[in-house]
Amino acid sequence: MSTTDSSPTSNAVGRYSIMDECDGCGICASYSAYSFAASEDGARYFVANQPEPGSEEDGIVLDAMAACPLGCIRDDASDPGV
């Protein structure tokens, strides 16, 4: 189930992204249907909306990142290689 008008085909521009290794388990969307949405075929998820830095939603995305079983959610702000 998507919260956007159409299924995303890439991550929204910003701090967070979901990597290609995503298997579509949906744990991220169970944390936030605002920030995460499934592709049309449900094979993977994307960041549909970037949260405002320091907002409650930002903390929820960080919780989803910690819960992702494949570690597919990337936080570019905490990646020194970016």
Residue ranges of domains in the chain, CATH in brackets: 16-76 (3.30.70.20)
pLDDT at 8: 86
Q: What's the CA gap between 55 and 10, in Å, rounded?
A: 23
Beta strands in the chain (DSSP E): 16-18, 36-38, 45-47, 73-75
For residues 12 and 45, is the Cβ–Cβ distance under 8 A? no
Q: How many CB atoms lie within 10 A of CB 51?
A: 20
Amino acid 5: pLDDT: 56
pLDDT digits (tens, 9 = 90+) for 32-63: 999 999 999 999 999 999 999 999 999 999 99
CA 4 to chain CA mean position, Å = 13
| pLDDT reading at 24 higher than 60 | yes
User: Which one, of 38, 49, 44, 56, lies nearest residue 16 by Cα?
Assistant: 49
